Every structure is written in C-alpha cells, then in structure tokens.
Amino acid sequence: MKTDFRRVVIIGYGKATGEILKYTADRRADYSYTLEFIEHEPHALSVTKQICEERGIPFASLPDKRELGDYFGKIQEKTLIVSASNNFLFPAALVERKNITIINFHNALLPDYPGRNAPSWVIYRGETRTGITWHYVTAGVDEGSIIIQKSCEIGSDTKAHELTETLMDLAYEGFCECFDGVLQENAEARPQGFSPERRMYRSSEIPGDGFLDINEPPEKLYCLLRSVDYGKSGIFPPLQTEVAGKQAEILRYRKVAPEKKKEGADMLYLPFADGELLKIKYRLL
C-alpha cells in the first residue's frame, strides 16, 4: 500500500487514543511511515505510555503548549497528525503548512455541538442521538470537512462518562474505516454546512450554569446530573445547590426504586413522575 506520508503523529488521551495507537502501530507494516505519540494532557489512569513501550512507539510528554507548538513546528516531512480526544488547538500557521495534514475526532455529529464537552451538552439538551465526527482540521475550531461520522442513541439513564465511552468506541471504529483513505489522500470529505444558529461550547461553560435547583422537576435535575457526570475526572466542578436556605454541593446521585429508600444525613429523595426516586447526596458548605 502506498502513501506519501512519511510520519504519523498521534496526540490525545483516553480509550480511543490507545486503540488508535495499537492500530496505527500494526499498520506500519502496510505503509512505511514512522509513528510517534504525544501526551499533552496526562491522565491518572492512562495506559498510552505502556502501549508505546510495548510496540516500540516513541513517546513524548509535552504538557506545555508552547513546547508542543515548537515540536510540531519543526516537522519537515510529509506528516499526518491524528488528534484523538485532544484539546490542543493547532495554530493556523501549522494547519496551513503543505506538508502537514491534521485529522481530528470530535465527540458529536458536526456541525452540531462544536467545542468542548459535547457529550454533556447533548445529554443536558435532551438529545436522543449523537455520535462522532472525524474531520480535517482547519484554522477554525471543529470547522473542517467531514471525513466520516458514526452515530448512537442516548439512553434515558445515560451518564456523560458512559456516553463518552460509547463515543470512544465509535471513534476507533470510524478511524479504522477512514485511515487508508486519509493516508492515500483519496478520502471523500464533505464541507460542513453551518447554520446561523451554530453555537460553540466553551470549556468554561457548565450545563445549568453549575447550579442544581431542587425545586425543578426531578426529570430535569436527573438530566443535569447525568450531563456532568464524568466520575472523578474533575471535568466540571461539583454542582452547587441550596437546601433549606443553605449552600451545598452535590456529592452523588442515583435513581432508586421507592423500596430502596434509606433515610440518611444530607440526603434528598425527589419523586419522579413514574414513581421512582432521585436520590441526591449533598454536603453543606
């Protein structure tokens, strides 16, 4: 198989990145590119370093944006940069270089939900479907032409971390399907059609502005709670609330059957319309 790309650089974190690393490492036998991995955002449970060690992939940890920019700036060969679950914004000068092609995985069906934390926003807005998009990177955020998309359903109990896991699997699946086309430069990409209402979600934005109003219907509260639930990853600060006039923060929540109700300190049980209960554990501040 033939490609003019001499070098493939993977940047990102998480499950999809790990799988893509393994896949691109195995495909070195089909194309004679060199492969390397860059960790820009270290993660406590990441296993990408180990994958690199096992498969002889050069590993570089570059948490500093300027250092990372310099690293990319020095690339001379024709290079494909694969950005998978990566929050580094590639500078326009890099994106426009002839010898560099960048593809990015976005965790929503572009042109909808561009920007950060898309899984949270689709849950918060009550969407029933979402998906992933692999697209070419241009100077604008999440604006490049679409190479491939994969979609999935959003269940009524789906939490942000569960949806993220599903999207990571789809991202890997989509990557495998389009990798040859991208390397051989014959992938069919279509431009995104932008509507005037297109809204960019920023990292500083939190669903519900980070406040859980316990006077709202439990169905709405459950939606908000699920939308910011990434376990302990700290993507969002704990939701704030007010209980009996006192400020509090949410520790955890769960949907429970009425017979499972166990009274406890700093605990609320709010009834859903279907009879189940929304259990919320909080801490007074």
Chain residues binding other proteins by CB under 8 A are: 14-15, 43-47, 50, 161-162, 164-165, 230-234, 251-252, 254, 264, 281
Three-state SS at 253? strand
126 phi and psi, to 5 degrees? Answer: 75, 25
Instruction: Please report how close the Cβ of residue 255 comes to other proteins at its closest, in angstroms.
Output: 12
53 phi and psi, to 5 degrees? Answer: -60, -45
- 17 token code pair: 């990145």
CA atoms within 13 A on the CB side of 182: 26
- 170 or 187: CB nearest other proteins: 170
Instruction: Please report how close the Cβ of residue 67 comes to other proteins at its closest, in angstroms.
Output: 25
- 171 or 182: CB nearest other proteins: 171
- 112 or 229: CB nearest other proteins: 229
- 7 or 55: CB nearest other proteins: 55
DSSP state, residue 113: S
- 146 or 167: CB nearest other proteins: 167
Three-state SS at 151? strand
- 196 or 264: CB nearest other proteins: 264
DSSP state, residue 189: -
CA atoms within 13 A on the CB side of 95: 18
**79 and 103 Cβ atoms separated by less than 8 Å:** no
What's the rounded Cα separation, in Å, for the pair 176 and 23?
A: 8
Instruction: Please report how close the Cβ of residue 154 comes to other proteins at its closest, in angstroms.
Output: 16
How buried is residue 181: exposed, middle or buried, by Cβ count under 10 Å (0-12/13-18/19+)? middle
Instruction: Please report how close the Cβ of residue 276 comes to other proteins at its closest, in angstroms.
Output: 16
Instruction: Please report how close the Cβ of residue 168 comes to other proteins at its closest, in angstroms.
Output: 8
Instruction: Please report how close the Cβ of residue 250 comes to other proteins at its closest, in angstroms.
Output: 12
111 preceded by a cis bond (ω within 30 of 0): yes
